[in-house]
Structure 1
Amino acid sequence: MLKIKLSFFALLLNIIFGFSQSQSKSLSIDFETFELENGLKVIFHQDHSDPVVAVALTAHVGSAREKEGRTGFAHLFEHLLFLESENLGKGGLDKLSARIGGSGANGSTSRDRTNYFQTVPKDALEKMIWAEADKLGFFINTVTEPVLAKEKQVVKNEKRQAVDNRPYGHTMFVIDRNLYPQNHPYNWQVIGSLEDLQNATLKDVKEFYKKWYVPNNVILTIAGDFDKEQAREWVHKYFDEIERGPKVTELKKQPVTLTETQKLYHEDNFAKLPELTLTWPSVYSYHKDSYPLDILTKYLSEGKNAPLYKLLVEEKKLTGEVEMFNYTSELAGQLMLQVRAYEGIKLDSVKLAIDRSFKEFEKNGIPEKDLKRIKAGLETDFYNSISSVLGKGFQLAQYEIYTKDPNQINKQVEQLLAVTTQDVKRVYNDYIKERHYIATSFVPKTKAELALSNSKKAEVIEEAIVEGAEEKFDASGKSAYKKTPSSFDRSIEPPYHGKPELSLPEIWDANMPSGMKVMGITNKEVPLVRFSLDIKGGQLLEKTSKAGVANLLAGLLEKGTAKKTPAQLEEAIELLGANINVRAQDEKISISGNTLAKNYKETMDLVKEMILEPRWDEKEFELLKQQTLSELQQQSGDPNRIAQNEFRKLIYGSNNILAYNILGTTESVKNLSLEDLKVYYNENLSPMLSTYLIVGEINKEEAVNSIKAISANWPPKSVDFPKIPKVELPKKSRVYFYDVPGAKQSVLAFGAPALTATSDDFYPAEVMNYRLGGGGFASRLTQELREGKGYTYGIRSRFTDRSYIGPFMISSGVRTNITFEAAKLIRDITANYPTSFTAEDLEVTKSYMLKSNARKFETLQAKLNMLQEISDYGYKYDYIKKREEQVEELSLLDIQDLAEKYVNPDRMYYLIVGDAKTQLKKLEDLGYGKPILLNEDN
């Protein structure tokens, strides 16, 4: 057994701020590690602050452990391991998660590892250990040909959604195939190819599992509120008899070098703007040079002081943003610089500007103050990363996987903080200056002339839309298999242990003379403060002719103050290790932030300047307009954003400001002036409409004092809110289609106006929706469209919480060639839902809604969200308790009545964004008349 106390941020404080050791002793993470005889490594971390525990199983296998021609297996297993195990049965983990109030069992796959994780109330820990052991030792026999066939379709839909049906989705495929040699394990994508997935056999799958999913290649992490000795006993009970697998051979580091620069281009079906990506070979994770490389990329690209930003964004006006990062993995790494240029910009001009920026850096290097500024954000980032028990568990497991030493986290921070300006200059010379690279130009269709000169056409494999191309399967039947023997009856689910009590955070409040309200929660788990100054209004106070003015105002408030230039304001925020963001929403403008508790007062001084002393910088205003117009242009090619924007129009109608994109329209943004922003600011921003919300290591007196200067110097004014036009259910359902030629998926948005967040029915309606589409894998829509048919990667339904009437909405992306079948199945599920909802459904729903409250307030952000709900909708401080009573009182008849009232498939808008040529005609058979094509010009 190894026990280590990590106090590495004591070191950070000493180096950056000169704090004494006595001030830093509390900044630590305790953990213990031990290993079972079968090789399973276990990491325990106790945190008693909330009655929850996170359990994660991490396997040291990702796409790098696959072989060419059989790619995507690691990610396929991420999916398969949730479906069934011998003792939990079909859908067992998802059903268990719903009953115990878990966060929803989930997983992720990278090049080098796959993990499975969930946070649950602490009384369910033994159940989770039992379930994870079943996944590792009692699973593979349940995988049958129909199960494999169905899950292939789900994964292929995920690839279509994440890659094939989105702008620039093939970028990494092109880069990795050319950066890494054909035999390199990073040559292919984590998700694999559609062809490889289709060719995977049951034998292939079982061989892969038996090689990699063995105790001696897995880490079990348990973090949260639990008894270590009891947990250790359970781990031994459920995992000890799982047999060790064959010896796992470690892969050697495989960094790459390029012998020539390659320039490639692709005409992207969905892209509306040209994008240039430059990629240089880099270093593997935790290499000594990875730390100065991280700082180099931040300095070159992020913020007003960044050389690339100053030249490409401000001076040359070629783009609205520059992104640069060091992407490291276990075996190798790549340094990436990405610029999405404005419409019609030739990427040669972008490359010239990049080269000029690099020359400036070669001459000047990184100033000491910028090095300090970048390091100052590290402490805040660290505390944010450990604000949940799951985050702590992930962090510990990652170091064990990649370095075999969780205590490497201590050494990593030392190395990062030890970086000098000379180190940053050295890694630039070693990895960028005069080095070969891969340059990819992704340009809109028919716009090849925008690509970098002398680029060759990239090989991109695109799926053809073919009717009936997918294999048939029936995964609904019960699998017949021989059970793996065990020394005890594993089919008996372990009991709960105790009952976590819901402990509501104590809320304090105050009223300022200006009319501003203050609400807060003191929480001292981490030395951070999160806050949000919410000003009611937002888009609701816009005129349709001035659509987008609130969004532009929010952006401009971040660009300097009367006393500070934009660069000076940004630097002042970053030197505090803080973040301050201004955001316009439908019903409010929020100035929110996150800072170290010790720097809170200085942070609020900056907030005061931003809200009360805007700079009204004409240059920044024009830049923001250009960036907004560019973003609108990008959205016009993204099927998911098209669906969101068109659905709003259907719900609210053309005369309602709520039908507009929060960014505005191309026409309205072009016509907005700086004077329009000043008018909106002077007429609509008032302390009388404002609530200051704060959580973290701060008390009421400190919080109130910090806001006094803002309240005292902000003239109160009354604001008249326009009457929101009435929205009503459509008298009958109609199908609306937006044509995106060649779309690999159809994006569905079905729904209708429903109710307000203040309605007595709102929360009961959310409870009703849990089994329909709000409960993830516990929902009917997911079980039937994804698990039953393999039509989609994901589908959900939800009620939108607003003070005005928000919609009920079902959303999904389905494979193109079953668009009609998916729409019909959704229609039938919603039609049958009131009568098919059973007493068992009600029991599962109640169990989830009540037990999941144990996780309700774990992080600072969760606590802030609760305050915002109270502020936005006038909920009582103990509204969670009231909701528990509502759940207890709901009957089967109540659920059925709510479903009939708010989920009526015959009075909905059926919006589909996809390929009209192949799918439009068939939708007439849905029974709602001839579909209405929304963009006839296509």
Structure 2
Amino acid sequence: MRTPKFAILLSLAMMLLPLGLFAQDIKLPPINIKEYKLKNGLTVILHQDRSTPVVAVNMWYHVGSKNEAEHRTGFAHLFEHMMFQGSENYVDGWRAVDELGGNVNGTTNEDRTWYFEVVPANYLERVLYLEADRFGRLLPAMDQAKLDNQRDVVKNERRFRVDNVPYGTMGERIDELIYPVDHPYHHSVIGSMADLSAASLDDVKSFFKQYYVSNNTILVLAGDFDEKQARGWIEKYFGVFETGKPIDRPNPPMPQLKETIRQQYEDPFAKLERRAITWPGVRTYHKDEAPLDILSSILSSGRGSRLQGELVYGKELAQSIFAFDSTSEIGGQFQINAMARPGKSLDEIEAIVNAEIEKIQKDGVTADEVKRAVAAREASAIYSLQTVLGKSSQLADYSGYLNTPNYFQKDLDRYSKVTPEDVKRVANEYLTKNRVVMTYVPAKQPPPPAQADKPTSTETKKKDLALIAKQDAALPKAGADPKFTLPAIEKSKLSNGLNVWVVQHHELPIVSMNLVVDGGATAEDAAKSGAASMTASMLTQGTKTRSALQISNTLQSIGASVGANANWDSSNVSMTTLTKNLPAALDVYADVITNAAFPQGDFDTMKRRTMAGFLQRKANSQAIANRVFDKVVYGDQLYGREMSGSEESLKTLSRDDLAAFYAVNYKPNNATLIVVGDVTTASITPQLEKAFAGWKAGDVKSVKVDDQKMSAKPGIYLVDKPGATQSSVMIGEVGLSRTDPDYFSVQVINGILGGGMTGRLFQNLREDKGYTYGAYSRFSTMRAAGPFVASGEIQIVSTKEAVQEFLKEINGMRGAIPVTARDLDINKQKLIQRFPSGFETVGAISNQLSALVTYGLPDTYFNDYIKKIGAVSQKDLERVANKYLDGSKMAIVIVGDRSVIEPKLKELGMPITLLDTEGNLVSK
């Protein structure tokens, strides 16, 4: 299974995995593909999908960190950042795509660099024009200032992902031991700080000329487009470039370990011990990749897996354990990674892992274990075909690594052929005595203050507005607005009073259900904080008719998933299944909802795991900042509590408390069931009547949500995290509720301030100053007033300056930095143009409908949304800016190294209050 080690777009991680593990009779729906080459060698792949009026544009370059020169580690990824800094005919980066409401980003791994956009279908020509311009005309727009800025950004990304998080360096240390020094995978994708500092503008130019050439590039279009028109645009914009020189591909032998290597590190941020056992594996699409994937699933996927069953739920030695088969173009690894419970022994965990491996090597695995793993893979593969972006990325990978873009069915078939004997064979062949055993333990002493270089340039960059306006005018015009039909909601009610909403969506054989219960954390007793969340989590941990193990194994065997969670305003129980397995999945789903049992033993296990999770959270700066921010802003009010409960509340929370919460709230006449997918109301209603026949209506308790007011006084609230290389900064106050009439206006103004890569916060703190990897803002809305927050992970030495810039931009929205008519129009259009993409998958549609249920919004809401966003005026923005964006009234929560940041923070002249990781006062 191909697992990129370094991906910016984390939300696409599952889509980037190869499809696999189908039963032998499984056939995918037809996937139409056209492939051809331009005369210059550019590979083009076209896939039409007219289900939603969006199109994905995917530029796949066959270059990654394995192609980097000596002492230039991290350069491929740094270059990816440079590709967003403007080109000859459009110097203003990728603002033109973001302003369309498009999704734009890029990722780098060892083997390839991938850039993508998902945009409204009528803007395809514009995106192709922009992609072609940076493909062939990047260098005229490059300068030293851009390189210096993006180098600072990438360094902050390394701090954010690697240096300032627990266990962050584990992966790169394992790579250094698995792969020899001369192997291209020996170093990490993100590289070292020293090598990043050494990169020059000449390096940028030579790298571009060598690898960003037509014969090393794949262009994929997937979505709603006219083929003839698209071919014409591709020829027009990309056909003018010359073919590049042939590229040598590194092809070293697979690494071999001659002995077991053990290393241990003290981690300044870790709270729990963790150990990774790693073996050299296989390359992507190797004949043994499929059985190794199956082996990893048998070892750790689900409660019925060998290691989770014994170590997490049985002996309760591990907080978590997972096995995975990570494959890349010229190498791979098989790893088992375990985090110990507080006070438990990693050596004991490792001994059990070894015994289980030896048992598989001697006795093999069962046919049922293989069957369950195959079924889960089958379903995952079909689910991944729901989005045009997911399909485009897979097409590019198949083409790049196999020269066969239409490899979907063959990929699936190789998994269906895996036998128990194959799994036993690969366990013996690859999981040998020679391995790398990497252990991370909490540091005994606090780390020294972080040493961090200052950003290279913090000057606000002046843009040539006349040139930008001229280039804007030259961009290809939009085509006719695509037609988008909102899904029809078919409403009915079961005989027990359960409301049912059905939306038909027959593109793929998938059905999604979500039960929305009118009772979330707001409905729980304040002294029982966490009851709603734990009640939901316990639903799948055993019913009156099935054990937790039976639930897990049954769902895995049909490739279905059932999950439950609680938010402030509702509890949700969701299910996703293939249509053919709907009867079996619905049987389990209804059982989980109607026959909750809350077994004492499973409750005790979950409670202990949750308590260990609280300890683990104290290692994460962002988690600390989020918790402290809520407590500071809301104090003892509802939203000042932890939705998942606190250490104190969980100590007294009992199994009976969950049963009581369930009895009061989980009633059919207090819920709505949303069904989306390959069904009709006529076909599903009888099945639902049968499944929920024993669920009886009852009295419903209404819950009143008190108004939420700002609790804290303005000022700085500082949490000390010694040795931190970044400061987690959150600035904000109480905002508004979901049903407030200002909701639509704040969506627009937040887009201008901090809603994305073109927001003022991002442009100032990242693109101008290089203080952070990202800076954003948001209004979180619930039934009562949720918070407004602006946040970012800030380079430690720039904390004071970043706070100043945050406040400058927040306050500027009230007139000091005026909102222009263009700002207003562009950000309204972004929201309107992005709207259809929220209905691309069955899960997305279900989420949209769930919001209607939870907040009592009218059926006309989706049409009203577009109209109300379009009606927002300049005066509306002035009003909401004055009402919600006054920095002088906001709390500033900072989690960072006090010894480094406090002296300069004092220069701001604000009161500084010291808090612990739970938001409690500490003495100075």
Q: TM-score category by the smaller chain?
A: over 0.9
Q: Measure, in 2, the Cα distance between the counterparts of 1:926 and 1:901.
A: 24
Change (3 A) 1:13 1:825: closer
Structure 2 residue aligned with 1:516: 498
Select 1:763's aligned residue among 744, 747, 759: 744
Contact 1:732 1:906 in 2 (8 A): no
Contact 1:578 1:603 in 2 (8 A): yes
Structure 1 residue aligned with 2:6: none
Q: Does 1:438 align with 2:418?
A: no
Q: Measure, in 2, the Cα distance between the counterparts of 1:338 and 1:822.
A: 37
Contact 2:638 2:708 in 1 (8 A): no
User: Match of 2:245, SS?
Assistant: coil
**Superposition deviation, residue 688 in structure 1:** 2.2
Q: Measure, in 2, the Cα distance between the counterparts of 1:90 and 1:711.
A: 57
Q: Measure, in 1, the Cα distance between the counterparts of 2:22 and 2:115.
A: 34
Q: Does 1:506 align with 2:483?
A: no
Q: Does 1:547 align with 2:529?
A: yes
Contact 2:73 2:196 in 1 (8 A): yes
Q: Which amino acid aligns with 2:444?
A: T
Select 2:546's aligned residue among 558, 561, 564: 564
Q: Which amino acid aligns with 1:781?
A: L
Contact 1:750 1:911 in 2 (8 A): yes
Q: Does 1:604 align with 2:604?
A: no
**Superposition deviation, residue 473 in structure 1:** 5.6
Between 405-414 and 128-137, report the one with greater CA deviation: 405-414
**Superposition deviation, residue 723 in structure 1:** 4.2
Question: Equivalences for 1:199-598 in 2 at 5 Å?
Answer: 199-252=198-251, 254-432=253-431, 434-446=432-444, 465-466=450-451, 469-472=454-457, 474=459, 476-477=461-462, 492-598=474-580
**Superposition deviation, residue 418 in structure 1:** 0.4
Contact 1:730 1:909 in 2 (8 A): no
Q: Deviations over 1:389-409 (max 9, x none)?
A: 111111100011111222333
**Superposition deviation, residue 660 in structure 1:** 2.6
Q: Which amino acid aligns with 2:398?
A: Y
Structure 1 residue aligned with 2:764: 784
Contact 1:731 1:907 in 2 (8 A): no
Question: Equivalences for 1:614-693 in 2 at 5 Å?
Answer: 614-654=596-636, 656-693=637-674
User: Match of 1:440, SS?
Assistant: strand
Q: Measure, in 1, the Cα distance between the counterparts of 2:414 and 2:699.
A: 55
Structure 1 residue aligned with 2:29: 27
Structure 2 residue aligned with 1:72: 74
Q: Does 1:922 align with 2:904?
A: yes
User: Match of 1:755, SS?
Assistant: coil
User: Match of 2:889, SS?
Assistant: coil
Contact 1:98 1:844 in 2 (8 A): no
Select 2:24's aligned residue among 15, 24, 29: 15
Between 174-183 and 504-513, report the one with greater CA deviation: 504-513
Contact 1:560 1:566 in 2 (8 A): yes
Q: Does 1:153 align with 2:137?
A: no
**Superposition deviation, residue 730 in structure 1:** 5.4
Contact 1:268 1:443 in 2 (8 A): yes
User: Match of 2:450, SS?
Assistant: coil
User: Match of 2:319, SS?
Assistant: strand
Q: Measure, in 1, the Cα distance between the counterparts of 2:87 and 2:473.
A: 10
Structure 2 residue aligned with 1:831: 811
Q: Which amino acid aligns with 2:608?
A: Q
TM-score by length of 2: 0.94
Q: Which amino acid aligns with 2:507?
A: E
User: Match of 1:443, SS?
Assistant: strand
Q: Deviations over 1:408-466 (max 9, x none)?
A: 3332222111011000000000011x331111111111199xxxxxxxxxxxxx99634
**Superposition deviation, residue 503 in structure 1:** 1.6
**Superposition deviation, residue 365 in structure 1:** 1.7
**Superposition deviation, residue 174 in structure 1:** 1.1
Aligned residue pairs: how many?
898
**Superposition deviation, residue 931 in structure 1:** 3.8
Between 907-916 and 671-680, report the one with greater CA deviation: 671-680
**Superposition deviation, residue 13 in structure 1:** 7.2
Between 845-854 and 143-152, report the one with greater CA deviation: 845-854
Contact 2:570 2:854 in 1 (8 A): no
User: Match of 1:881, SS?
Assistant: helix
Q: Measure, in 1, the Cα distance between the counterparts of 2:797 and 2:110.
A: 31
Between 343-352 and 164-173, report the one with greater CA deviation: 343-352
Q: Which amino acid aligns with 2:457?
A: K
Structure 1 residue aligned with 2:54: 52
**Superposition deviation, residue 145 in structure 1:** 0.7
Q: Which amino acid aligns with 1:437?
A: R
**Superposition deviation, residue 98 in structure 1:** 3.3
Structure 1 residue aligned with 2:689: 708
**Superposition deviation, residue 79 in structure 1:** 1.0
User: Match of 2:791, SS?
Assistant: strand
**Superposition deviation, residue 467 in structure 1:** 6.9
Q: Measure, in 1, the Cα distance between the counterparts of 2:526 and 2:364.
A: 48
Q: Deviations over 1:595-645 (max 9, x none)?
A: 011211221111121122224322212211111111111001111110111
Q: Deviations over 1:204-244 (max 9, x none)?
A: 12111111111111100001111111111110100111122
Q: Which amino acid aligns with 2:805?
A: L
Select 2:876's aligned residue among 891, 894, 909: 894
Q: Measure, in 2, the Cα distance between the counterparts of 1:559 and 1:665.
A: 21
Q: Deviations over 1:285-315 (max 9, x none)?
A: 0000000000001001122322212321233
Q: Measure, in 2, the Cα distance between the counterparts of 1:637 and 1:662.
A: 19
Q: Measure, in 2, the Cα distance between the counterparts of 1:674 and 1:930.
A: 42
Change (3 A) 1:63 1:13: closer
Q: Deviations over 1:543-564 (max 9, x none)?
A: 2332222222222211232222
Contact 1:542 1:657 in 2 (8 A): no
Q: Deviations over 1:102-134 (max 9, x none)?
A: 12x211111111111011111111111101101
User: Match of 2:575, SS?
Assistant: strand
Select 2:782's aligned residue among 802, 808, 812: 802
How large is the RMSD of aligned CA atoms in angstroms? 2.4
Q: Which amino acid aligns with 1:353?
A: I
TM-score by length of 1: 0.92
Q: Measure, in 2, the Cα distance between the counterparts of 1:583 and 1:525.
A: 28
**Superposition deviation, residue 154 in structure 1:** 0.6
Q: Which amino acid aligns with 1:922?
A: K
Flag structure 2 segments of 5+ consecutive residues without an equivalent: 1-17
User: Match of 2:563, SS?
Assistant: strand
Question: Equivalences for 1:36-115 in 2 at 5 Å?
Answer: 36-91=38-93, 93=94, 95-103=95-103, 105-115=104-114
Between 359-368 and 150-159, report the one with greater CA deviation: 359-368
Structure 2 residue aligned with 1:822: 802
**Superposition deviation, residue 193 in structure 1:** 0.9
Structure 2 residue aligned with 1:3: none
Change (3 A) 1:11 1:110: closer
Select 2:850's aligned residue among 868, 893, 903: 868
Q: Measure, in 2, the Cα distance between the counterparts of 1:822 and 1:699.
A: 54
Q: Measure, in 2, the Cα distance between the counterparts of 1:13 and 1:47.
A: 23
Contact 1:10 1:27 in 2 (8 A): no
Q: Measure, in 2, the Cα distance between the counterparts of 1:664 and 1:384.
A: 33
User: Match of 1:658, SS?
Assistant: helix
Q: Measure, in 2, the Cα distance between the counterparts of 1:157 and 1:662.
A: 31
Q: Measure, in 1, the Cα distance between the counterparts of 2:154 and 2:20.
A: 44
User: Match of 1:856, SS?
Assistant: helix
Q: Which amino acid aligns with 1:589?
A: S
